[in-house]
């Protein structure tokens, strides 16, 4: 079988490969080009109660993909008018084009954005990074400010207690500045001793609260920038889609396989006809 017309197989394989290469080239040329831009962010945990917390990357990805962040990006870039789409359509398109991922072994988040032109890809990537960073900063500020407000209220209350104890000590004939020396030189009346002890305890508590407030203020400074941008997005000059080389290879291989298959069938048919003749 296929003794006389075997040459049909390689000929049709070459022809099929050439046709496949040409078809793949045309299809690749007319396919819409997609450009990609990316930013790299470091997400720092916000300390809670003076103890460093942790970052749940899955949660951070949900925040980046949330309606609040997407709508803020659309608002900043006026994408509804720029793309001539409704707000819902813009949101869904952004959700489809934005791809956050975790760089393993680090606390870094990579945000990739694809768009039909490099300018949009870079602008959206930058807007996503900034909107996410602003949201995290606002959340951290709310948490720390709430604790600082509580601390200020506690300090004010303790200062009032200290003032009341000082007045009570004065009424007992004591001197807030000489409490310790007086207690060493003679035994004051019991009421005066109790007032002095209460005053000292109130002062110690006030000092403890002041030290704690300093810690909270330091924590606030640490929390002021929970997201650090390590890599700003840039405009790409080379599209990431379609993959020209891959498409051409697939087209050529598919064409060669199709041509060879057709060649086998034609060779068998021609040999059979010759045999009949």
Condensed to tens digits (0 to 9), the pLDDT of residues 128-144 reads: 999 999 998 888 777 66
Q: For 66-84, what is the mean pLDDT?
A: 95
**Percentage of the chain lying above the pLDDT 90 cut:** 34
What does residue 240 show for φ and ψ, rounded to 5 degrees? -90, -15
Contact 181, 221 (CB under 8 A): no
Q: Considering only 69-73, 76-80, 183-187, 262-266, which range has the smallest mean pLDDT?
A: 183-187
Q: Which residues 6+ apart lie within 8 Å of 176 measured at CB?
A: 166, 169, 170, 199
Provide the CB-side half-sphere exposure for 72 (13 A, CA): 18
Taking alpha carbons only, the member of 33, 29, 31, 18 closest to residue 251 is: 18
Band of pLDDT at residue 235, cut at 50, 70 and 90? very high
Taking alpha carbons only, the member of 41, 62, 45, 42 closest to residue 139 is: 45
Q: For 32-43, what is the mean pLDDT?
A: 93
The hierarchical CATH code for the domain 31-253 is 3.30.1890
What does residue 229 show for φ and ψ, rounded to 5 degrees? -85, 115
Separation between Cα atoms, residue 177 and residue 120, nearest integer Å: 69
Q: Which residues 6+ apart lie within 8 Å of 25 measured at CB?
A: 248, 251
Separation between Cα atoms, residue 171 and residue 192, nearest integer Å: 9
Between 205 and 275, where is the model more confident? 205
- pLDDT recorded at residue 212: 63
Contact 261, 9 (CB under 8 A): no
Q: Considering only 58-62, 147-151, 218-222, 234-238, which range has the smallest mean pLDDT?
A: 218-222
- pLDDT recorded at residue 159: 73
Q: For 26-33, what is the mean pLDDT?
A: 85
Q: Is the pLDDT of residue 73 over 80?
A: yes
- pLDDT recorded at residue 174: 46
Q: Considering only 3-12, 24-33, 238-247, which range has the smallest mean pLDDT?
A: 3-12
Of the ranges 115-119, 137-141, 205-209, the best mean pLDDT one: 115-119
Q: Considering only 5-19, 22-36, 45-59, which range has the smallest mean pLDDT?
A: 45-59
Q: For 44-64, what is the mean pLDDT?
A: 76
Please state the pTM of the whole predicted model: 0.61
- pLDDT recorded at residue 199: 61
Separation between Cα atoms, residue 261 and residue 129, nearest integer Å: 52
Separation between Cα atoms, residue 10 and residue 261, nearest integer Å: 10
């Amino acid at each position: 079988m296929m003794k006389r017309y075997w040459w049909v197989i390689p000929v049709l394989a070459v022809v099929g490969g050439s046709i496949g290469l040409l078809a793949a080239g045309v299809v690749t040329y007319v396919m819409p080009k997609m450009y990609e831009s990316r930013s790299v962010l470091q997400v720092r945990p916000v300390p809670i109660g003076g103890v460093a917390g942790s970052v749940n990357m899955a949660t951070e990805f949900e925040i980046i993909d949330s309606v609040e962040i997407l709508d803020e990006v659309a608002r900043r870039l006026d994408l509804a008018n720029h793309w001539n789409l409704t707000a819902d359509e813009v949101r869904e398109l952004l959700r489809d084009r934005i791809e956050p991922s975790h760089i393993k072994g680090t606390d870094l988040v990579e945000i990739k954005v694809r768009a039909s032109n490099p300018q949009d890809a870079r602008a959206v990537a930058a807007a996503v990074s900034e909107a996410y960073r602003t949201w995290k900063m606002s959340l951290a500020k709310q948490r720390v400010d709430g604790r600082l407000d509580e601390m200020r209220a506690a300090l004010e209350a303790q200062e009032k207690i200290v003032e009341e104890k000082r007045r009570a000590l004065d009424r007992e004939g004591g001197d807030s500045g000489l409490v310790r020396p007086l207690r060493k030189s003679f035994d004051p009346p019991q009421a005066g001793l109790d007032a002095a002890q209460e005053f000292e305890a109130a002062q110690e508590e006030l000092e403890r609260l002041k030290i704690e407030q300093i810690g909270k203020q330091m924590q606030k400074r640490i929390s002021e920038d929970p997201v650090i941008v390590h890599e700003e997005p840039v405009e790409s000059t080379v599209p990431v889609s379609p993959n020209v080389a891959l498409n051409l290879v697939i087209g050529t291989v598919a064409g060669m396989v199709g041509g060879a298959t057709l060649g086998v069938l034609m060779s068998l048919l021609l040999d059979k006809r010759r045999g009949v003749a």
